[in-house]
A and B are shown apart, each in its own frame.
Chain A
Amino acid sequence: METLAQIKARIEAAVAGAVVEMVPNDSPSGQHSLWVDNSHAVAVAQFLREDPELRFDFCSNVTGVDWPETERTEKVKTTRLVDGVETSVEEIRKTKRPGFLEVVYHLYSVALKHGPLILRLRTENRSDQVQVPSLTPVWRGCEFQEREVFDLFGVVFTGHPDLRRILMWDEFTDHPMRKDYVEPDDYEYEPTPHDEVLVKARRSGRGEAGT
């Protein structure tokens, strides 16, 4: 298989206007991925499937990932002129990353027996701009998995032939795999509550024998 940089260059050459970015992965697995902009995602997917040297005809896995808005504080050492003398000063810099939902596609080639190529699509935010294009027209195998991501994360796949809830019932209104999902409080007594259960037990006034 070609390197990810080569694939990226070929995508940019083949699909006019496509914005592709490499997403590095520092873990020993070394599985780096490509982020593709939403408006060209279907064209990129079609190219990856049809290109005779890539032939990614098998979309193995579709995953939703929730990235809520986070604030990261990091200490950065900078040099600054203090009273005319250059001294290194520690600055606390806060970076805010806006929240978004991500859909990850793992592609393999059955014809050429290589892979995986990892594609990522991102939504604008987590509340009202949650659309990404559906890749089901390109790979049929995405159909149920995209429905699952819609059900559990609330990503809306435009162009999906049958976008309904798949695991939870239709009347359900939440998206339980999101990080800020609050589950119904059907906690009952547990002899040794701990962590979150302990918090719930304290809140409900039950549990925690001997306190």
Chain B
Amino acid sequence: MSIAAATNGKRHRLVPPPSPADGALGELLEISMGPQHPSTHGVFRMNLVLDGERVVKLKPVFGYLHRNHEKIAESMSYLGSMPYTDRLDYFCSLTNNWAYALAVEKLAGLQVPERAEYIRVITAELTRLQNHACLGGFLLQDMGASGTPLMYAFREREKILDLFEALTGARMMCNYMRFGGCRCDLPPGWREQAQRLVAEFPAFLDEFEALLNENEILMARTQGVGVLPASLAVNASISGPMLRASGVNYDIRKVDRYGIYDRFDFQVPLGEHGDVYDRYMVRILEMRESLKILRAALADLPEGPIMDPKARLRGFRPKPGEAYGRIEAPKGELGFYLISEGGPHPYRYRVRPPSFINLTILEDMCLGQLVADVVIILGSVDIVLGEVDR
């Protein structure tokens, strides 16, 4: 389903588009927004220069959560870095696990058994559901809808976290995937519980969409705001829902067909205008597609082993070489680049963080916009500082 069909093609814009003539007071105001700011989604800081209410310059300042993940990983065993990947994008620990496991599997040539591939798809799509739901909540919170949408989103998130907890023992930091499979099998009754959740989730989406999609205020504040043209998006290495909201059909699940994504029938929702509203809608529509994948994966889940018999947890030393593995994480292309020198530690361990690179064009999107819209544009990028600064 396209965005136009989902919203009956409605477009609103109450505030006229910015023109350089208005607000030309001549005197510029410099403000520092963050690192402690209620809507910078963590410890992110922007140095803004304003002409009246309009942004004329914006420089992001990073590093307030730079906790040296890459340096620590170079003195860790390969497996020892797995729990650290949980803490990159701490909303989506399972997709982080998968990206890292995928890179190491490429480096060491491991094959993942079919059942483990299914479990990976199921947990990754559940992660996508809760990430996108919370993003919707936080975005609305930034717009001033205090509480309600975020409460609804967190209510659904808790249900998914209960599933993660039953499976992995932890709500947020799952540390679940291993090189060549998964750590443990599904507990009894888990599949049925997940199927129940998938069956009930559309009701939440219907409610959320009825409440928000055609909401006058949401449309007025987001449509035509923070427009990102497709050519710039590609050139600036933007990935994930942000790239697709600009109308570029690029989903790594379809392009790389990693795991077993070629077995599932799902669409890639695309935006037309590349504005904040399209980014919001692309995520809402993506949740519907994730539900399709989940329904099929939970129905077809085969029996079998969950670990590659060749995989070794202890004394794991891949041959010298390098590998880059990437997946379509909820925030975009999450990649891991590993160089092995044949030792127990990676010689170089690099995370390609989607939300860090997606911030490259933050200034371009905000120039000429109102300072109040900067918060919403930032919210629509969907950043998590654990991943931005690592």
Contact A27 B340 (CB under 8 A): yes
The CA-CA distance from A156 to B62 in the complex, in Å, is 19
Whole-angstrom distance between the Cβ of B366 and the nearest chain A Cβ: 16
B36 at the interface (CB under 8 A from A): no
The CA-CA distance from A168 to B390 in the complex, in Å, is 12
The CA-CA distance from A143 to B319 in the complex, in Å, is 33
A177 at the interface (CB under 8 A from B): yes
* A-B interface contact total, Cβ < 8 Å: 108
Q: Which partner residue on chain B sits nearest A162 by CB separation?
A: B59
- Residues of A with C-beta under 8 A to B357: 141, 144-145
- Give chain B's interface residues, CB within 8 Å of chain A: 62-63, 66, 68, 70-71, 75, 106-109, 232, 234-239, 248, 250, 255, 318-326, 333, 335, 337, 339-340, 347-348, 350, 352, 356-357, 359-361, 389
Contact A139 B107 (CB under 8 A): no
Whole-angstrom distance between the Cβ of B109 and the nearest chain A Cβ: 3
Complex partner residue of A113 from B255, B324, B350, CB under 8 angstroms: B255
Interface residues of B: mostly helix, strand, loop or mixed? mixed
Contact B237 A63 (CB under 8 A): no
Most chain A beta-carbon contacts within 10 A, residue among B106, B248, B360: B360
Complex partner residue of A106 from B238, B321, B335, B347, CB under 8 angstroms: B335
- Provided the pairs A110-B250, A113-B255 are in contact, do residues A144 and B322 lie with their beta carbons within 8 angstroms? no
Interface residues of A: mostly helix, strand, loop or mixed? loop
- Residues of B with C-beta under 8 A to A166: 62-63
Contact A118 B360 (CB under 8 A): no
The CA-CA distance from A65 to B321 in the complex, in Å, is 14
Contact A31 B234 (CB under 8 A): no
Contact A26 B335 (CB under 8 A): no
- Provided the pairs A27-B319, A27-B320, A110-B248 are in contact, do residues A61 and B232 lie with their beta carbons within 8 angstroms? no
Contact A58 B63 (CB under 8 A): no
A128 at the interface (CB under 8 A from B): no
A104 at the interface (CB under 8 A from B): yes
- Residues of A with C-beta under 8 A to B255: 113
- Residues of A with C-beta under 8 A to B335: 60-61, 106
Whole-angstrom distance between the Cβ of B346 and the nearest chain A Cβ: 11
Most chain A beta-carbon contacts within 10 A, residue among B318, B348, B361, B389: B348
- Residues of B with C-beta under 8 A to A193: none
Whole-angstrom distance between the Cβ of A116 and the nearest chain B Cβ: 6
**A136-158 contact mask (Cβ, 8 Å, vs B): 1 or 0:** 00011111110000000000000
User: Could you list 6 A-B pairs, sorted by A, with CB under 8 Å?
Assistant: A26-B320, A28-B106, A57-B234, A58-B237, A63-B337, A110-B234
- Provided the pairs A60-B237, A61-B337 are in contact, do residues A106 and B348 lie with their beta carbons within 8 angstroms? no
A192 at the interface (CB under 8 A from B): no
Contact A141 B237 (CB under 8 A): yes
